[in-house]
Amino acid sequence: MTSQSQGIQQLLQAEKRAKDKLEEAKKRKGKRLKQAKEEATAEIDHYRLQREKEFRNKETNVMGSQGNFSAKIEEQTTEAIRNLTSSYHRNMESMMKKLLSTICDISPEIHPNFRPVV
């Protein structure tokens, strides 16, 4: 009888050791999965930063040339506004005189399509 109970005790102890090893393996697996996830996240972040840096460099190269265009366009716009303003001041007096003479100098005449009623 004692040998049977010893055998049962050994089986229970072996089962407990197997259960402990299984728990330990699950913990290691969980740690490894967590570590792999962190490594993947770090690698993704590094890749994203690298691609963003490349994008900014390309954007700077392209926008730098566009920046020159915008400066030229703004300069041309300013010049056009200056020209229009000076033209306005030069021609304002003569245009006002023409406008007033057209409005005030009325010469009444019959319209060519007018037909007297018979």
At residue 1, the pLDDT reads 62
Q: What is the pTM of this model?
A: 0.42
For the chain, what is the mean pLDDT? Answer: 90
Which band of pLDDT confidence, cut at 50, 70 and 90, is reported for residue 118? confident
- CA gap 86, 105 in Å, rounded: 29
Per-residue pLDDT tens for 1-29?
677 888 889 999 999 999 999 999 999 99
Whether the predicted pLDDT of 97 surpasses 90: yes
* Element holding 61 (H helix, E strand): helix 2-104
* Element holding 12 (H helix, E strand): helix 2-104
User: Positive or negative, the Cα torsion across 35, 37, 42, 47?
Assistant: positive
At residue 3, the pLDDT reads 76
Structure tokens at 52: 């963003």
In the block, tokens 């566009």 appear at 66
- CA gap 96, 101 in Å, rounded: 8
Whether the predicted pLDDT of 109 surpasses 80: yes
- CA gap 80, 62 in Å, rounded: 27
